[in-house]
Amino acid sequence: MDWINWDLAINRKYYINMNKPFTTVSGIILAAFIFSGCGTKKNDRSADVLLNRKVDSVLSLMTLEEKLGQLTMYTSSWDVTGPVMNPKYREDIRKGKCGNIFNAHTVEYNRELQKIAVEEARLGIPLLFGYDVVHGHRTIFPIPLAEACSWNLELMQRSAELSAKEAAASGLNWTFAPVVDISRDPRWGRVAEGFGEDTYLSGCIAEARVKGFQGSDLADSNTLAACVKHFAAYGAPVAGKDYNSVDMSEISFRQDYLPPYQKGVKAGAATVMASFNDLFGVPATASKYLMTDILRGEWGFTGLVVSDYDGINQLQNHGVAEDAQHAGELALTAGVDMDMQSGIYSGYMSRSLEEGKINIAAIDVAVRRVLRLKFRLGLFDDPYRYLDKAREDNIVYSDEIMEHALISARESVVLLKNENKNGRKILPLSNPAIIAVIGPLADNQLDMLGSWHAAGDHARVITLLEGLKRKFTNSEIRYAKGCDLYSDDRSGFKEALDLAKKSDVVILAIGEDQEHSGEAASRSIIDIPGIQEDLAMALIETGKPVVVLIMAERPLTFPELNEKARAVIYAWHLGTRSGEALADILSGTCNPSGKLVMSIPRNIGQVPVYYNTKSTGRPFDQFYKYTTKYIDVPNGPLYPFGYGLSYTSFDYGNIELSDTIMGKNDTIKVSISLRNTGNFDGAEIVQLYIQDMVASLTRPVKELKAFKKILLAKGDEVTVKFTITIEALKFINGNLDYIAEPGDFKVLIGPDSQRLKEAGFTFRYN
């Protein structure tokens, strides 16, 4: 008897005679024997073939109701109400009508739920536990947009790895991350969760995040299954309004927005989440073109696709589904395997099957994908493998994770301005006698966690005020709030101004709170809220040195403040160890090295503003009216993509190319000298861009194609080397082919997307 028939025979006999297979010791032993594949000739079969046989073995035992239960995910409502759950959901788990739970964490709570599934349900199929571990679980790292400004792929992979380790220790095995949506519109609140405006950089980070979350083996109980989201083009909603329609050409979609998802999938992401928006007139949750043709057909993805929260039900609001049943049919047919929260698959698909609207094969395919993931996570071998209380106590908030939170926060900070006046710059601070710490975010714990801060505890956050007290032990630290974030009440101005006048330096912390960014937090005006900027101007007018820290989750507009302020830092929301990281930057203990991954506009009228715009027939000319420009502000942003200062200075040499002619099978070696000409050790992010001079379609004025983060001691010099291959020259043409066309190209290298050295070469096919 071959393996699968032997396995099925034992399974059928066992489950027919024993209604609750895992409630006895013999049941546990037999189940472990079956599901681990004991007795098989493993060396004669690939791991994948063996896995499929195990999956089919379980599938053959399932009723239709149990199959649909595996395609259903419900919330435990932890984030709103604590460790409680709708009693109906518990009963659904018990009856096999719900196989997956999200928003449940901690070993104690998840063990209680897993016990229902494993020991009380008929088949004992273990639950999958998912959660939005976007930038940390209990220990919170900087928001993803901030950490992307580190341009440090190893650091970001490590952040994901440690986030997974901490979350897995708390009973989770699936994260709804990374968010890889390209966005060029800071009105959209969820820019905080992504990696900025650039396709290439975002793809590199997507790959790093997936590898960090998943490691080399999903069965390792320190890892989580990753979920690339939101598929697809969710970051480009019309008018920047969350959940809104997305409208773009397929060329733009494939060229600019699709590649980061593909990079995440290619990196091995176990799951993908459908987005809320429509694209090409079809909601993503009902798009066979996205979920089947591209994702599975073109890319070969074999993992699980899950809807976003209530996404299937919302197909009715989109106007493509007549009712809930029809919505479920559309989603399942499109290739969405799991229904998050709608309850439509479990509630209606049996009727659709009876009516011939769907077939059992479609259901079985989706169920197989769910079971495969559970097997890969090791849940059939040990349903409680993620539920070890001693391990949870040892890992959560461990020194290893907390230390990395500090390192990550330091590298995420972007120094925008540090003007020299009377022979010196304000930063770094040199042991001032009295420091005035002012602003509504200076002593704020909750908002430093940022949006989607999972199970982070704001009571553990080190604020800016506390961080400065710990760092500047020989200085007198004085604090005044000055004003609230959104109020017009100026009664606190006097105290703040009096304090500033008696101080040697003012550290001002302003920006937005975590509720005004993230999901469902789009803004039509993206200036610094309330009267905070007025407070800043009044403090600057005192003549005292003022360092402005802008703490936010999106690029805000502040042109007037930027003009007046001598020192400006984009401090983001940096997580649990925010204050210590900022104190290290301000003191010079750590030299800032972050660079923007999203351009900062001068005003809302420039949006969207991004570095890789297309060439036009009338390019900008300040001396000729009839060219592409505004008449009231410059074309460019306040601060461009890739921009960021250091306390030291770097000098770039000239670009050297190994050749000026490149064939299709050739490479060109590119080198440029970089010298630290300042008085501090520091890190510089060297950026390489390519410009296609003539093509069959209009092309961007430049595109990022490579970068390196180089640490240099003061006075040191290094030659930075890159290699250009044909991949750097390819684009989507009018036939939607990904090709490189012969012609002339520019290589541009520099510290940001505007200050660039250049050289040229010619690409030929021969």
| In the predicted structure, residue 5 carries a pLDDT above the cut 80 | no
The pLDDT value recorded for residue 615 is 86
Task: Please write the tens of the pLDDT for every residue from 7-61.
Answer: 443 343 333 333 344 333 334 334 444 444 443 344 446 788 999 999 999 999 9
The band of 604, judged by pLDDT with boundaries at 50, 70 and 90, is very high
Q: What is the mean pLDDT of residues 591-610?
A: 98
Lookup: tokens for 758: 């250049």
- Range 217-243 average pLDDT: 98
pLDDT bucket at 374, cuts 50 / 70 / 90: very high
What pLDDT is recorded for position 765? 86
Per-residue pLDDT tens digits for 149-189 = 999 999 999 999 999 999 999 999 999 999 999 999 999 99
Residue type, 79: D
Tell me the three-class secondary structure of 396-464, residue by residue. Answer: CCCHHHHHHHHHHHHHHCEEEEECEECCEECCCCCCCCEEEEECCCCCCCHHHHCCCCCCCCHHHCCCH
Locate all alpha helices (DSSP H) within 174-305, ordered by sequence: 199-214, 250-252, 259-266, 288
Q: Tally the residues of the chain.
A: 766
pTM of the model: 0.95
**pLDDT on residue 124:** 98
- What is the helix (H) or strand (E) element at residue 94, kind and residue range? helix 87-94
Q: Output the CATH code of domain 650-763.
A: 2.60.40.10
State percent of the chain over pLDDT 70: 93
Rounded Cα–Cα distance for residues 380 and 696 (Å): 54
pLDDT of residue 82: 59
Closest CA to 308 of 352, 242, 374: 242
In the predicted structure, residue 81 carries a pLDDT above the cut 60: no
Mean pLDDT across the stretch 407-433? Answer: 95
pLDDT band at residue 668, thresholds of 50, 70 and 90?
very high
Q: Is the pLDDT of residue 586 over 60?
A: yes
Q: What confidence score (pLDDT) does residue 84 get?
A: 67
pLDDT value for 421: 85
CA–centroid distance for 165 within its chain: 17
CA count, 13 A, side-chain hemisphere, 73: 26
What pLDDT does 89 receive? 94
How far apart are alpha carbons 421 and 187 in whole angstroms? Answer: 35
Tokens of 516: 């005004």
Return the exposure string of 353-378: e unless at least 16 CB atoms fall within 10 Å of the residue's CB, then b: beeebbeeebbeebbbbbbbbbbbbb
Per residue in 486-542, pLDDT tens?
A: 999 999 999 999 999 999 999 999 999 999 999 999 999 999 999 999 999 999 999
How would DSSP label each residue in 227-250? EEEEETTTT--GGG-TT--B---H
Catalytic residue, candidates 308, 339, 692, 752: 308
pLDDT computed for residue 79 by the predictor: 60
- Model confidence at 736: pLDDT above 70: yes
Summarised one tens digit per residue, pLDDT across range 440-490 is 999 999 999 999 999 999 999 999 999 999 999 999 999 999 999 999 999
Q: State the architecture of 395-606 in CATH terms.
A: 3-Layer(aba) Sandwich (3.40)
What is the residue extent of each domain of the chain? 1-131+359-394, 395-606, 650-763
pLDDT tens figures, 379-407: 999 999 999 999 999 999 999 999 999 99
- Looking at residue 192, its pLDDT comes to 98
Q: What is residue 35's predicted lDDT score, i.e. its pLDDT?
A: 45
Give the end-to-end CA distance of the chain in Å, rounded to a whole number.
59
Residue 340 has pLDDT above 50, yes or no: yes
**pLDDT score of 766:** 77
484 noted as active-site residue: no
CA pair distance 342, 347, nearest whole angstrom: 9
| Mean pLDDT for all residues in the chain | 93
Which pLDDT does position 7 carry in this prediction?
44
- Residue 599 to residues 508, 607, 629, 684, Cα–Cα distance (Å): 23, 10, 17, 18
Residue 203's pLDDT is: 98
**Amino acid 400: pLDDT:** 98
Residues with Cβ within 8 Å of residue 2, at least 6 apart in sequence: none
Please name the helix (run of DSSP H) or strand (run of DSSP E) that holds residue 108, with its range, or none: helix 107-115
CA–CA separation, 392 vs 166, rounded Å? 8
